[in-house]
Amino acid sequence: MVRASFRSVVFASLALAFAAPASAQFYSEGFEFLEAVKDRNGTDATEMLNRPGTQIVNARDITSGETGLHIVTARRDLQWVRFLLQEGANPNIADNAGRTPLILAAELGFIEAVEALIRGGARVDVANSTGETPLISAVHARNVDLIEVLVENGADPDVTDNTGRSARDYASMGNVSRRVLTAIESGDNDGDDGEGRTYGPVF
């Protein structure tokens, strides 16, 4: 009985010993990549991205769920946004709060990143955990320039958040400048031919 129990412990220990290195290595590589991104260490980041078969560009922070794209968007670093997109970063990965890099860029009013992320394939009508889309965020901020960029790239002003209100609803409120609603409605007559819109990754 004691001998059998001892064997079970040994086998379990061996199984963990063989299983741990793979997961530990994956975690370690992801952590190192995100640290390189945070430190603006282009040399180390590029070296890791050039490893055959790597998916490290989409590594996520174990605590926040943020990717490298979240990190560089938050610091308003357009050069790194473009670099990571060029390396295949997925702009539609959400963090633990349901925010994609596009949602974050809209919240910051970081229009250049909004444009780059959309060109990189970001979905314009994606919503965070409260149902707020980038366009709704832009309306709350009364950011007419951002509203125009989003509408020109196909943002739907009638998508509702968790309260049941849409960007158009918020723009129609009495305390909101008429310019905000005008910017939203400017896309209503643009037609559906997609002219002037760009989708998909840019390299």
Contact in structure between 174 and 136 (CB atoms under 8 Å): no
Residue 3 lies in a domain: no
Residue 203 lies in a domain: yes
Measured CA to CA, the distance from residue 52 to residue 43 in angstroms comes to 17
Under 8 Å CB-to-CB from 121, ≥6 apart: which residues? 90, 91, 92, 199, 200, 201
Residue-wise over 146-172: b if at least 16 C-beta within 10 A, else e? bbbbbbbbbbbbebbbeeebbbbbbbe
Q: Structural domain of residue 180, as residue ranges? A: 98-193+199-203
Provide the mean pLDDT of the chain: 85
Residue 162 lies in a domain: yes
**Average of per-residue pLDDT across 6-11:** 46
The tally of domains found in the chain comes to 1
Residue 4 lies in a domain: no
Q: What is the pLDDT of residues 9-34, one digit of tens each?
A: 444 444 444 444 444 444 689 999 99
Residue 45 lies in a domain: no
CA distances 64 to 61, 68, 100, 184, Å, are 6, 12, 12, 33
**Average of per-residue pLDDT across 191-201:** 39
Residue 166 lies in a domain: yes
Residue 13 lies in a domain: no
Confidence at residue 187, expressed as pLDDT on a 0 to 100 scale = 73
Residue 75 lies in a domain: no
CATH number of residue 143's parent domain: 1.25.40.20
Say what the pTM is: 0.79
